[in-house]
Amino acid sequence: MRDIWDDPKRGAISVNWTVSPVLADIGPTLLAYYQKTATGNDLLIAGPSGAGYTYAGSWPEKALDAYTELTGQGTLHDYRRDAHNSRRS
């Protein structure tokens, strides 16, 4: 994403950029960079896969429980709130 994001032509047309809803927790500086450098034609959205795609069978049970909890509605709600607040500043 960063290679395409840094293209000088970015912003010429409207694009939805899919980012993980947990980026605010695991990479807040990266998320802040995208929020601060977004043009009026860039929209950061959470994809339908929660925190990301995974193969559940390859996870230890406790870790999978934590991962699925992380992808729950609370995390998505927080992401939407943070994204909304960043647009207002």
pLDDT of residue 59: 82
Phi first, then psi, for residue 44 (nearest 5°) are -85, 125
pLDDT of residue 52: 73
Which residues, at least 6 apart from 57, have a Cβ–Cβ distance to it below 8 Å?
A: none
pLDDT of residue 58: 85
Distance of CA 38 to the CA centre of its chain: 13
pLDDT of residue 80: 45
Tokens, residue 81: 């709130």
Q: Tell me the pLDDT tens digit for each residue of 26-82.
A: 899 999 999 999 999 999 998 777 777 778 788 888 888 877 777 764 444 444 445
Of the given ranges (16-25, 51-60, 80-89), which has the lowest mean pLDDT? 80-89
